[in-house]
Structure 1
Amino acid sequence: MAFGAAVSPTLFVAVLVLLTSSDRPRSRSVAFIVGAAAPLVLIAALGMSVFRHAASGHPQISPVVDLTFGVVLLLLGTHTLRRPATREHKSSHSRPAGPVASAVLGAVLMVTNFSSLALFVPAVKEVAVATSLGTTDRVLVLTVTVVVSLLAVLVPLLVFTLAPGKAAALLGPPLAWTRAHARATGVAVCFIFGAYLCIKAAIRM
């Protein structure tokens, strides 16, 4: 599910825009990623506490959570599919002025990235209710989950770091493709993982 959460066209486009700009691309992109990671870390910390306590008294909490977020994803996919396609336009916050603004943008885009969060929360729940994991193991698995969920922004930064002189040439085509297929990608993620969560919940109930 963390890999599904990583499929975020909005965050991917935003970090590519930052990396292909000429104004402090590295520092602003790092700040953007830190901002995007902050809500995930907060959700992971709160989710661990809430789900562990809930699971101890209500064993059926796990499939209920899966079913809830599965339905949310299916509804989100349906809404996106039925909504008329709109032409993308550049806004004034596409390239924030500095690292602080970039961090704020990253946090805002992650908080409003409902499809990714709807997959991230069940992933956190799985870690929280796993009886075979100790505290250290839970922290390690949650850290990996957060990192995997941020692959859409971490991979472009890695490419930029390894080949800064070729960043525009390497990242330009993925940026154009993602902008052209963002809606279809988002709908596919919602339906595929929404159905998966619903089926998983039905089997466990």
Structure 2
Amino acid sequence: MLRVLAVVLPLALVGAVSPVMLSEQTLLLSRRNGRRVAASYAGGVAGVLLVFVSALVLFGRSVSLPHEPSLSATLDVVLGCLLLALAVVLLARQHRPRREKRPHQRDLSPPAALGFGVFSMATNFTTLAILVPAAKEISASGLDAAARAVLILVVVVVAALPAWLPLALTVIAPGPASRGLTVLADLIAKRGALLAVLLLTALGLFLVARGAVHLL
């Protein structure tokens, strides 16, 4: 399990690098009934991630990935190339002018915030693409159902950090949380893409190399 965790945890962390989602949640917290609305938003984000990762793991089990080493190795190469392509795309985006994206200024009800969270995560194609290799790793691990469930939850919780961490910090320390979130958002906006590129490149090369070794 630790071997699988060593691969899926970095992928989930890269998937969590989302300045837009962090800014959306921070803005929601500043509104009327901010905590309730933010909790609904986080629930929408986590729900999409849970369904997406679970479905991929179940699909991987249905095609018997643990018992098809050549198929698993081929997928390693394909998914590794996908991560490398994503790294190139993110690197290219660094040199483009950024436009602020903010949710509409009208107040949202908790059900509307839930839908907003679902939409934000369902259209976050970069994060979803990054989590495909993580789900493949879990489904091909050969672990029992309980261990796979734990790994799925770890991936979901980590990838959803931009959605639930601001809410948790606001509950624990409302004053310092606001200042800390501003600093964190600035740091992610400035350095997050570079960190994601480096991690995606490393993990992509690892998957390609591992797949190639098993295919030879």
Structure 2 counterpart of 1:128: 139
In 1: Cα distance, 2:37 partner to 2:46 partner: 14
1:98 equivalent to 2:123? Answer: no
Mapped to 2, the partners of 1:87 and 1:3 lie a distance apart of: 22
User: SS of the counterpart of 2:69?
Assistant: coil
Aligned counterpart in structure 2 of residue 15 of structure 1, from 14, 18, 25: 25
Aligned to 1:44, which of 15, 30, 53? Answer: 53
Describe the superposition over 1:109-155 as per-residue Cα deviations: whole angstroms up to 9, x where unpaired.
22232332223222222222222x22222222222221122223332
Q: Could you say if the C-alpha distance between residues 125 and 96 of structure 1 is closer, same or farther in structure 2, counting changes exceeding 3 Å?
A: farther
1:187 offset after TM fit, Å? 3.5
Distance change (3 Å), C-alpha of 1:180 and 1:140: closer
Partner residue of 2:121?
Answer: 110
- 8 Å CA contact 1:70–1:193 kept in 2: the answer is yes
Structure 1 residue corresponding to 2:163, chosen from 150, 153, 160: 153
Specify every segment of 5 or more residues in structure 2 that has no aligned partner in the other structure, as ranges.
Answer: 1-10
- Aligned pair in 2 of structure 1 residues 89, 118: CA closer, same or farther (>3 Å)? closer
Asked if the contact 1:12/1:152 (under 8 Å) is kept, the reply is yes
Contact 1:81 1:187 in 2 (8 A): yes
RMSD: 2.6
1:61-112 CA distances to partner (integer Å, 9 max, x unpaired)?
Answer: 3223332222222223323333551232344537762323322222222223
Deviations, residues 35-72 of structure 1 (Å, cap 9, x unaligned): 11122211233222210121266432322333222222
Q: Given the superposition, is the C-alpha separation of residues 121 and 22 from structure 1 closer, same or farther in structure 2, using an over 3 Å criterion?
A: same
What is the TM-score normalised by the length of structure 2?
0.78
Give me the identity figure in percent. Answer: 29
Displacement of 1:25 in angstroms is: 1.9
Distance 1:71 1:169, change over 3 A: same
CA distance in 2, matches of 1:3, 1:178: 12
CA offset at residue 31 of structure 1? 1.1
1:33 aligns with 2:42: yes
1:61 corresponds to 2:71: yes
Q: Is the 8 A contact 1:73 1:115 kept in 2?
A: no
Does the CA contact (< 8 Å) of 2:20 and 2:101 recur in 1?
A: no
1:23 alignment partner AA: R
